[in-house]
Amino acid sequence: MTAPVPTDPASWLDAAPGGASLGAVALPDGHALFRVWAPLHEHVSVHVQRPVDVVVPLVPLSHGYHEVIVEDVSVGAQYLFRLSSGEECPDPASRLQPMGVHGPSEIVALRQDGSAPRFVGPELAESVFYELHVGTFSEQGTFAGVIPHLDQLVDLGVTTVELMPVSQFPGSRNWGYDGVFPWSVQASYGGPAGLRVLVDECHARGLAVALDVVYNHLGPDGNYLGRFGPYFTSRYQTPWGPALNFDGPFSDEVRRYFIQSAIHFFSELKVDAFRLDAVHAILDTTARPFLEDFAETLHRRAAASGGRVLVIGESSLNDPRLIRPVSRGGLGLDGQWSDDFHHACHALLTGERQGYYCDFGALSQLAAAYRSGFVHGGQRSEFLQRAHGRALDDGAAKQLVVCTQNHDQIGNRARGDRLARSLSPAQQRLAAGLLLLGPSVPLLFMGQEWGETAPFAYFTSHENAELARAVRRGRVEEFIAFGWRAEEIPDPQDESTFRSSRLDWTRAAEPSHRALFELHRALLRLRRENPAFQSGRFVDVEIREQQKILISRLRSAEELVALFSFSGQTERVELPVLAEAGRGHLLLDSEDPRWLGQGENRLVGTGSPHAVTVELAPNSFLVLEMSRST
């Protein structure tokens, strides 16, 4: 029961086995190392509860860290930290909370294949994300439940499975943004062991794994971090609670806690990419912002291991700085989630104008997203009542992750209804084409590829009664303002709300749904086979306002032209072609009977030596290949 006392915590923290720089780790000799950052406490003990009951004081090190090795304690042991106040709390760097957010933490086994070659996922521009929520993706609602469907995802053609947050949250049903132990993996999903198996199964199939991580707030129940140290600050507020302390006193150690948690997921659980939730709510005025620090440290760590890690921030700021290289004054993230493309599509397809859709609805805005990524590049937003964003750098559209549906865009609706509920089959095909033939990195939300009609509602399972009431009330109040009646809003706490949000895999096999899947598959193949889609840049984007037609031209070995019609009637379009290109032919047609198209898209013929004419059915698209005239 002795501990080494290194002088520089930074060095041993970084050099720790299995990324176990904080928390508890089973050592090869049958003992366990406990480390915790608790600068508010002179003395911290570890209370091991199972299989033995023993209390061991930790040795205070520098900068508020404490550490001890406890003999004959290993995997499966459950423990709490006893603070100088006498209070016992779970480990801030807990890997597993087998009895929930208020119970003891558990020591988990380290991965044994440390020397195996690292799986290397695709670059961002080559990626196609598939976002899924573990609890509702399968009947089981666990990591194990995901595995049987992986082959179908490979067949579909996505490259990366993106998991909504998996850190331990209160109860057993939650989107994940109420997580309170950032190093942990939800026990009811299968814990770290379950996640590890899922990641291995993905890698075995060539799929990368991205993880949604939340560094802007912690959930409202089971958040013990503040007892240990100044993890939070009162200087800033987030919509979801106190902001994390990334720029005040002791913020170096708070940053290290989060960065090391990601290193843990990268090194030990082999995650390939991180989606940082709502980085606009990470407030930090330092000269070296946390986000830059995070991305740089992760990138360095990945390079050292011969791997690759992608760092992607969800941002509402439309700020090119996030993804610019540090050498040009940027924060150096690989990519950012961007909503502009979604909003432009959604407003056009549905006609909705409520809330933030008030800024959208023009075909020219979709063209802007196709041309340069952002629609708001400094223009005034009526929704925000101010100028918004800044023009993206040329070609940086390939660093945007975009969607026509995601958990937020579906689940933040009053009833969580998907586009499959409001769009016609033709419109659903059109949406698929717009997304997968665009200049940015596409993300599909689970089930979207086959037109799942189940909602993805907002659900929780808070065990704290007051909190449960507040969440229920908040949800109703949010939508009453938009004219909904209280009884129309699903109760987030009701288990049936959660159940209704599960994918129905029997539906996926029905012909109409299968047909939509096949279209997605064909589009992804087309995208894969034409790397110019990854350039973030089209040769030309044009709209025919009166006909409601968007035309995008993509240079590649042969010229590709995509035409998208939002018109309610058949439109005839004459299309100039490049001088060196000859007669075109149809490469992909949204009205093809293979995906149950019912309209008639036709390449009518060449109107002139340098033009082709096409007829487009309502809400359809087609891709033409202009063969070089030889």
Q: Which of residues 314-353 bind a second copy (CB under 8 A)?
A: 317-321, 324, 328-330
Establish if 394 lies at the interface with a second copy (CB under 8 A). no
Nearer to a second copy, 238 or 570 (CB): 238
Give least dist CB 320 to a second copy, A. 7
Establish if 148 lies at the interface with a second copy (CB under 8 A). no
Q: Please answer whether residues 130 and 143 qualify as being in contact, where contact means their C-beta atoms are separated by less than 8 angstroms.
A: no
Cα 527 from Cα 436, distance rounded (Å): 7
Give least dist CB 253 to a second copy, A. 8
Cα 549 from Cα 555, distance rounded (Å): 20
Nearer to a second copy, 60 or 492 (CB): 60
Exposed (0-12), middle (13-18) or buried (19+): which is 30, by Cβ within 10 Å? exposed
Nearer to a second copy, 378 or 607 (CB): 378
Backbone angles phi, psi at 622, to 5 degrees: -150, 160
Candidate residues 249, 355, 607, 609; the one interacting with a second copy per rule CB under 8 A = 249
Q: What residues have CB less than 8 Å from 576, skipping those under 6 apart?
A: 610, 611
Candidate residues 190, 389, 438, 442; the one interacting with a second copy per rule CB under 8 A = 389
Give least dist CB 611 to a second copy, A. 40
| Alpha helices, DSSP H, located in 305-339 | none
Establish if 402 lies at the interface with a second copy (CB under 8 A). no
Helix (H/G/I), strand (E/B), else coil: 541: strand
Establish if 386 lies at the interface with a second copy (CB under 8 A). yes
Q: Which of residues 275-314 bind a second copy (CB under 8 A)?
A: 280, 283, 285-288
Establish if 150 lies at the interface with a second copy (CB under 8 A). no
Establish if 380 lies at the interface with a second copy (CB under 8 A). yes
Q: What residues have CB less than 8 Å from 141, skipping those under 6 apart?
A: 134, 135, 188, 189, 502
Size of the site for a second copy (CB under 8 A): 33
Give least dist CB 286 to a second copy, A. 7
- Token pair in block for residue 26: 């089973």
Query: Which range of residues in 150-158, 246-254, 341-349, 506-514 is near a second copy by CB under 8 A?
Result: 246-254
Establish if 506 lies at the interface with a second copy (CB under 8 A). no
* Sign of the Cα pseudo-torsion (252, 254, 258, 261, in order): positive
CA atoms within 13 A on the CB side of 541: 20
Q: Which of residues 486-505 bind a second copy (CB under 8 A)?
A: none
Nearer to a second copy, 115 or 385 (CB): 385
Categorise residue 424: left if φ over 0, alpha if ψ from -120 to 50, beta otherwise: beta
Q: What residues have CB less than 8 Å from 123, skipping those under 6 apart?
A: 308, 310
Give least dist CB 449 to a second copy, A. 33
Nearer to a second copy, 300 or 469 (CB): 300
Q: Which of residues 74-133 bind a second copy (CB under 8 A)?
A: none
Give least dist CB 93 to a second copy, A. 20
Nearer to a second copy, 249 or 607 (CB): 249
Query: Which range of residues in 109-117, 231-239, 438-446, 604-612 is near a second copy by CB under 8 A?
Result: 231-239
Burial 146-174 (b: 16+ CB within 10 A, else e): bbebbeebeebbbbbbbbbbbbbbbbbbb
Q: Which of residues 447-486 bind a second copy (CB under 8 A)?
A: none
Cα 494 from Cα 273, distance rounded (Å): 33
Establish if 384 lies at the interface with a second copy (CB under 8 A). yes
Nearer to a second copy, 382 or 580 (CB): 382
Query: Which range of residues in 21-29, 132-140, 245-253, 583-591 is near a second copy by CB under 8 A?
Result: 245-253
CA-to-CA dists, residue 306 to 3, 488, 490, 563, angstroms? 32, 52, 47, 42
Cα 374 from Cα 380, distance rounded (Å): 13
Establish if 373 lies at the interface with a second copy (CB under 8 A). no
322: closest CA among 225, 245, 389?
389
Query: Which range of residues in 27-35, 115-123, 235-243, 358-366 is near a second copy by CB under 8 A?
Result: 235-243
- Residue corresponding to tokens 């009977």: 593
CA atoms within 13 A on the CB side of 499: 3
Q: How many Å separate Cα 193 from the centre of its chain?
A: 21
Give least dist CB 317 to a second copy, A. 6
Give least dist CB 327 to a second copy, A. 9
Nearer to a second copy, 317 or 539 (CB): 317
Task: Say how many Å lie between the first and final Cα of the chain, rounded.
Answer: 81
Q: Please answer whether residues 207 and 154 qualify as being in contact, where contact means their C-beta atoms are separated by less than 8 angstroms.
A: yes
Cα 182 from Cα 100, distance rounded (Å): 14
- Token pair in block for residue 344: 């432009």
Nearer to a second copy, 29 or 252 (CB): 252
Backbone angles phi, psi at 512, to 5 degrees: -65, -40
CA-to-CA dists, residue 456 to 239, 476, 500, angstroms? 22, 17, 8
Q: Which residues are catalytic?
A: 277, 314
Establish if 355 lies at the interface with a second copy (CB under 8 A). no
Establish if 433 lies at the interface with a second copy (CB under 8 A). no
Nearer to a second copy, 402 or 432 (CB): 402
- Residue corresponding to tokens 């809330």: 355
Give least dist CB 228 to a second copy, A. 16
| Alpha helices, DSSP H, located in 390-509 | 407-411, 419-422, 425-436, 465-480, 495-500, 505-508
Give least dist CB 384 to a second copy, A. 6
Candidate residues 81, 129, 224, 236; the one interacting with a second copy per rule CB under 8 A = 236
Nearer to a second copy, 38 or 56 (CB): 38
3: closest CA among 63, 51, 45, 42?
45
Candidate residues 31, 227, 299, 390; the one interacting with a second copy per rule CB under 8 A = 390
Establish if 251 lies at the interface with a second copy (CB under 8 A). yes
Give least dist CB 537 to a second copy, A. 21
CA-to-CA dists, residue 497 to 24, 136, 456, 500, angstroms? 37, 11, 9, 5
Give least dist CB 391 to a second copy, A. 9
In DSSP terms, 312 is beta-bridged to: 275, 335
Nearer to a second copy, 49 or 379 (CB): 379
Query: Which range of residues in 66-74, 248-256, 531-539, 566-574 is near a second copy by CB under 8 A?
Result: 248-256
Candidate residues 235, 469, 473, 610; the one interacting with a second copy per rule CB under 8 A = 235
Could you list the residues that contact a second copy (CB under 8 A)?
235-237, 247-252, 280, 283, 285-288, 317-321, 324, 328-330, 378, 380, 384-390
